[in-house]
Amino acid sequence: MESEAAAGVGGRSSTPGERLPRVSVIVPCYNEEATIGLLLEALANQTFPARDMEVIIADGLSIDGTRDRVRSFQERHPDLKVRLMDNPRRTIPAALNLALRAAQGEIIVRLDAHSAPQADYIARCVGALESGLGDNVGGGVGNTPGDPGMASACHRCSGSASPGGRGCALSLC
């Protein structure tokens, strides 16, 4: 695996002291015991540095083993900040809005709990945003077999439009 400094962002090399934008990965989730571990492992294996990334899982109070799998992952990977939030409304919009309010990142990455992004997915999205290729970028993300679909997007936060005052203008209602 490449070192964090060599991995760079979007194909360019970075230096050890270079400041990368902080990324918040937000994930709506409900009863994803079979797939949440695959997503979390894929995020742990990103070329984008874990120190500049957080993962926020807004769970609709799953009744399978999803929450246990997330907690187990947290214990095994303390280097990647993973927060598990309760989504008592159990809807995707409510989950995304909860996660957005909690997000600390300058860039938001939205993934589904049954997706498995390639190791360079976040670095490439950040690189595209940093290069000015768009305000909202994304691409194909692998699904686990049998799942009908998933969603992904990366968005740069700017201004002061977010409910938390951190400036994310992404609307998910």
The whole model's pTM is what? 0.76
Residue-wise pLDDT for 101-118, tens only, equals 999 999 999 999 999 999
**Structural domain for 79, as ranges:** 4-12+25-156
At 134, the pLDDT band (50, 70, 90 cuts) reads confident
63 lies in some domain: yes
Lowest-pLDDT choice from 106-110, 119-123, 169-173? 169-173
Residue-wise pLDDT for 28-58, tens only, equals 999 999 999 999 999 999 999 999 999 999 9
10 pLDDT more than 90: no
165 lies in some domain: no
- Where do runs of H (alpha helix) occur along 49-172? 66-76, 92-102, 121-130
Number of domains in the chain: 1
Cα 29 to the center of its chain, rounded Å: 12
Q: Taking a C-beta distance cutoff of 8 angstroms, is the pair 115, 39 a contact?
A: yes
